Amino acid sequence: MPIFDFLSGQFIDVIEWTDDSRDTLVHRFERHGHEIKYGAKLTVREGQAAVFVHEGQLADVFMPGLYMLETNNMPIMTTLQHWDHGFKSPFKSEIYFVATRRFTDLKWGTKNPITLRDPEFGPVRLRAFGTYAIKVADPALFLREIVGTDGDFTQDEIQFQIRNMIVQSASRALAQSRIPVLDMAANTDELGRIVAEQVSVTLGEYGLSVPELYFENVSLPPAVEAALDKRTSMGVIGDLGKYQQYATAEAMQTAAGTPNSGMGAGLGMGMGMGMANSMAQAGPWGQMGGQQPQQPQRAAPPPPPVEHVWHVAEGGATKGPFSKARLGRMVTDGEITRETYVWTQGQDGWMKAEDVDELAQLFTVMPPPPPPGA
């Protein structure tokens, strides 16, 4: 092998790193026993930073760009190597490429339920999960505090610790928010922002940040969700009695229309006997067997009228509710007058007592004022 090829192989003159793994945070560029040529080219791409470590000491940090490794752009390295008077020679250093882009779609979730006090349901247990992203904000600090001498540091090596921080902060944020469970979905953006800010404060000491964090879902235990579904169903059904009648009629119609069904035959026979009895008990056109027509049943009396209760506005405050009899005594005692404003359910706003037909009669039974001089 020619001596020129041997010498050129001893020095690194092109330094770069392309990441195909998509999960590597730090990669160490090295060749065992090889030196870096003075004046070599260093290529740092967007989303990267290059950190030089010389003799165990952090020397320089290079951001994206193309660099010629010379003394004029490596002031710290120059001091460490004592490159005075433009002395040029190869040097040995460890070069760590740090990925400064965002690592997205990382998962987080609570292992155990979070117990909090809901204003509507009382004590409840919640589970939450979502996604987040991390980013190296300070490559030198991250290398010093977390990576150390790891030649290939991936996100999996720190993801567990970050997930624990997120869960702790999310538990605290949910408990302190005092947001009702039914309103959690409308406030997930705000909760995610609060948790991301709290976690970034701690991770800032490691040179990391959490630029985004999302709550995908906040869920109740299965038993509570089932009870909530039943409550929602009852609200949709409305009148339970009418619903039962409808369900019974549907079941009878389905059974009657099923061929070779004993229930359908029984229902059909029962309906036929019912029709026969109705015809036998009908008027002159439907008399059978010489039976006399039955007298029509008397209609049930109507339900008693619903008595209204009234609220009274006095001095900027609302009093009540009062029955009509109670209002009559208050009129007698002079506690309310014709000008007093009253309201009851179904009434369109507050009205003066004398303008309400039901209450106007309370003032007509009062005696007129005494004559002058009496």
pLDDT at 50: 92
Q: What does DSSP assign to residue 127?
A: E
CA distances from 132 to 67, 197, 206 (A): 34, 12, 17
**Number of other CB atoms surrounding residue 70 within 10 Å:** 15
Nearest to 100 by CA among 178, 19, 167, 175: 19
Residue 137 in this model has a pLDDT that exceeds 90 = yes
HEC string of 147-212 equals HCCCCEEECHHHHHHHHHHHHHHHHHHHHHHCCCHHHHHHHHHHHHHHHHHHHHHHHHHHCEEEEE
The reply to whether 14 and 33 lie within a common domain is yes
Tell me, yes or no, whether 356 lies in a domain.
Answer: yes
The reply to whether 51 and 130 lie within a common domain is no
The whole domain housing 55 covers 3-99
Tell me, yes or no, whether 339 lies in a domain.
Answer: yes
Tens of pLDDT, residue by residue over 300-316, are 777 666 677 888 888 88
Higher pLDDT, 45 or 229: 45
Contact 21, 7 (CB under 8 A): no
Q: Which amino acid is at 262?
A: G
How many structural domains does the chain have?
A: 3
The reply to whether 210 and 318 lie within a common domain is no
pLDDT at 5: 44
The reply to whether 117 and 177 lie within a common domain is yes
pLDDT at 254: 75
The reply to whether 80 and 160 lie within a common domain is no
pLDDT at 149: 78
Tell me, yes or no, whether 214 lies in a domain.
Answer: yes
Tell me, yes or no, whether 179 lies in a domain.
Answer: yes
Residue 167 in this model has a pLDDT that exceeds 60 = yes
**CATH number for 193:** 3.30.479.30
Tell me, yes or no, whether 294 lies in a domain.
Answer: no
| Best-predicted range by mean pLDDT (7-21, 139-153, 289-303, 354-368) | 139-153
Q: How confident is the model at residue 259 (pLDDT cuts 50, 70, 90)?
A: low
Higher pLDDT, 6 or 369: 369
For the chain, the average pLDDT equals 76
Q: Select from 181, 206, 224 the last residue of a domain.
A: 224
DSSP string, 302-362: PPPPPPP-EEEEETTEEEEEE-HHHHHHHHHTTSS-TT-EEE-TT-SS-EEGGGSHHHHHH
The reply to whether 207 and 119 lie within a common domain is yes
Over residues 67-77, mean pLDDT: 62
Cα-based torsion angle of the residue sequence 243, 245, 246, 252 in order, rounded to the nearest 10 degrees: 140
Q: Select from 195, 224, 253 the last residue of a domain.
A: 224
Contact 124, 181 (CB under 8 A): yes
The reply to whether 162 and 148 lie within a common domain is yes
The reply to whether 107 and 209 lie within a common domain is yes
The reply to whether 155 and 211 lie within a common domain is yes
pLDDT at 90: 58
Tell me, yes or no, whether 276 lies in a domain.
Answer: no
Residue 243 in this model has a pLDDT that exceeds 80 = no
Q: How confident is the model at residue 78 (pLDDT cuts 50, 70, 90)?
A: very low
pLDDT at 212: 92
pLDDT at 80: 47
Tell me, yes or no, whether 215 lies in a domain.
Answer: yes
pLDDT at 87: 42
pLDDT at 85: 37
The reply to whether 46 and 70 lie within a common domain is yes
pLDDT at 95: 87
Tell me, yes or no, whether 25 lies in a domain.
Answer: yes
The reply to whether 117 and 9 lie within a common domain is no
Q: How confident is the model at residue 102 (pLDDT cuts 50, 70, 90)?
A: very high
Q: How far apart are CA 315 and CA 335, in angstroms?
A: 12
Q: How far apart are CA 6 and CA 15, in angstroms?
A: 19
The reply to whether 119 and 203 lie within a common domain is yes
Residue 220 in this model has a pLDDT that exceeds 90 = no
**CATH number for 328:** 3.30.1490
Lowest mean pLDDT of 86-100, 194-208, 325-339, name the range.
Answer: 86-100
